[in-house]
Structure 1
Amino acid sequence: MSSTFYNKNAANLADLYLSKSFDQVHSTWLEFLSPVLNKPDARILDIGAGAGRDSKRMAELGSVNNTAITAIEPAQRLAELGEKYTRGLNVQWLQDSLPSLSVVTQQEISFDLILLSAVWMHIPATDRARSLRKLANLLKPGGKLVISLRHGPSGDQRIMHKVSADELVQLGKSVGLLPLLITANDSDKLGREAVHWQTVVLQLPDDGSGAFPFIRHMALPGLNADNSSVDDLFEALLLQRGRLKEMQ
């Protein structure tokens, strides 16, 4: 995804994104957020964090239990605005992007919840399988992946690809993620008649031992299907080391 449009229009986009509240935009899946925020020291990854609306609200809601938010935004100007908007809260900003997520992977931490709000339509179909593997690698056992799907035309020069809940669920299953929620199409909160949204929530199973994320990468077929698979396995091992550190 090119960041040019977002850097050039950062101020206007920030005003647009902040015109609607977190609760207005994400009402369909909030039942899955509360248990995460109630956990001590939970970690949340906000990919495509934009102007910081979602990161700010989740950090505020989780402040009592020391919830830590990692905000990922590839557009530097937008990230700068987001960092100002969340200043003073437990939010760390990183410049990174799918499908590689190389910067966040090097942090050697895993997450209780990963949010991709208005991101998936920017990922070409050829990058989606790898993106799901990366995201699954970053989840803690029992962790949840929340992805909003935009249906409808771009309306400007941004490239947006067609998305499908069925495709996303199948890609998730291929890396061991199970569907918890697939919403019906919902109207656009900004009033764009040709645009509709869905939300898909996927979960990494937890067998109680914390070993499933590691075993999954050794057992699932197709691991060596492309040139990125060796890197993915290395990152899975790296993240597993981070998980073991967290358990000690």
Structure 2
Amino acid sequence: MYRCGESTISVSLHPRPEGPGFSLNLVKMNSKVVSGTEGYAEEAAILLDRYERNSFEDVYAAVRSYFPEVSSTIVDIGSGTGRDAAYLAQIGHQVVAVEPTAELREPAKELHPSENIEWIDDSLPELSQLLSLQSTFDVVILNAVWMHLDKGQREIAMESISKLTHVGSKLFISLRHGPIPNYRRMFDVSCNETIQLASKYSIELLFQTQGESVAEPYLVETGTTADLTFLQSYSESECAVNTTYEFTLPFCNCRISAQIDSYTPGAYSDYHRSQQSYYNEKNTKLNQL
């Protein structure tokens, strides 16, 4: 089978009924390109080499302190070459790597074999396969993915993402701003829009930074990247009447169990502020090193 633009050509050989020899049969098969993945399949070989040159520590340097230090469940949406998933799995996390482009996903599975990684063929905004697992995660990552969605898709996607979180979940979103490479589908998405959209689902901003892009070398000269770190402070499914829930406080490395009889708006504001205070202090210490 061969790719031809957005179609797949199936080539098959059949014995000739009239005698020796074979006839060539070409069949054009429709191949739907997942919205937002345009250009990635064609450049997969180049991207595999490019992305793997950058380490997880370099790409996430500004927000590294927000990642959990204990074994956690993490979903990497738009996992690409599997670089980030592999690093996180190596240090003990259980990772679900979601990548709709087979030309990236399949080589990534061979490049980064790990029992701690589950690979899923799925895509934003619906994430139907991922949501069918009915799982929530401690960390949700969208690195250089969000700007591939248009406004309507982003609204649907944020609702999908909210269903993957529980109280205390972290959400990492990086936005790329700069020239659009050939054959790519990208939109100019502001930080403020993303922050406001997340807040509709009680996913509140913890930290924001902006600087030169590391993951996409073609944006370094004229483009920037914005890293947004969020905290899920309220989950409707976990905060229903007479529901018991648990979450981890990283500053004391202990689990807290509580019985919820009813939900009051702002009930988790103290928890949210304590998280911000903890990470602000942690970042200050790291910057002093």
**For this structure pair, what is the TM-score category when the shorter chain's length is used for normalisation?**
0.7 to 0.9
Label 1:54 to 1:112 Cα distance change in 2 as closer, same or farther (>3 A).
same
1:196 to 221, 224, 230: 224
Between the two structures, name the one with larger relative contact order (CA 8 Å, sep ≥ 6). Answer: 1
Give 1:173 shift.
0.8
Output the CA distance in 2 between the equivalents of 1:194 and 1:156: 16
Output the CA distance in 1 between the equivalents of 2:38 and 2:177: 22
Structure 2 letter corresponding to 1:9: E
Identify the residue that residue 135 of structure 2 maps to in structure 1.
109
* 1:108-187 matches, cutoff 5 A: 108-183=134-209, 185-187=210-212
Give 1:144 shift.
0.8
Q: Does residue 71 in structure 1 map to residue 97 in structure 2?
A: yes
Output the CA distance in 2 between the equivalents of 1:88 and 1:201: 27
Q: Which moved more, 1:192-201 or 1:80-89?
A: 80-89
* SS of the residue 2:154 aligns to: helix
Identify the residue that residue 61 of structure 2 maps to in structure 1.
27
Structure 1 residues 30-72: Cα deviation after superposition (integer angstroms, max 9, x where no partner): 1111xx2414xx21000010000000011111x2xxx210000
Structure 1 residues 100-126: Cα deviation after superposition (integer angstroms, max 9, x where no partner): 000000111110000000101101112
Identify the residue that residue 255 of structure 2 maps to in structure 1.
none
Give 1:2 shift.
4.4
* 1:74-89 matches, cutoff 5 A: 74-89=100-115
Q: Give the count of matched residue pairs.
A: 207
Identify the residue that residue 46 of structure 2 maps to in structure 1.
12
Q: CA RMSD in A?
A: 2.3
Identify the residue that residue 94 of structure 1 maps to in structure 2.
120
Label 1:81 to 1:173 Cα distance change in 2 as closer, same or farther (>3 A).
same
Q: Does residue 60 in structure 1 map to residue 94 in structure 2?
A: no
Give 1:157 shift.
1.6
8 Å CA contact retained: 1:181, 1:201? yes
Output the CA distance in 2 between the equivalents of 1:137 and 1:120: 17
Using the aligned pairs only, state the percent identity: 30
Label 1:86 to 1:6 Cα distance change in 2 as closer, same or farther (>3 A).
same
* SS of the residue 2:168 aligns to: strand
Q: TM-score, normalised by structure 1?
A: 0.78
Output the CA distance in 1 between the equivalents of 2:74 and 2:108: 16
Give 1:154 shift.
1.1
Output the CA distance in 2 between the equivalents of 1:203 and 1:181: 9
8 Å CA contact retained: 2:38, 2:184? no
Identify the residue that residue 44 of structure 1 maps to in structure 2.
74
* SS of the residue 2:230 aligns to: strand
Q: TM-score, normalised by structure 2?
A: 0.67
Give 1:193 shift.
0.8
Output the CA distance in 1 between the equivalents of 2:177 and 2:103: 26
Give 1:88 shift.
2.7
**Structure with larger Rg:** 2
Quick check: which one's helix share is greater? 1
Output the CA distance in 2 between the equivalents of 1:37 and 1:68: 13
* SS of the residue 2:62 aligns to: helix
Quick check: which one's strand share is greater? 2
Structure 2's unaligned 5+ residue stretches are 1-34, 244-259, 266-289
8 Å CA contact retained: 2:96, 2:117? yes
Q: Deviation above 4 Å: which 4+ runs of structure 1?
A: none
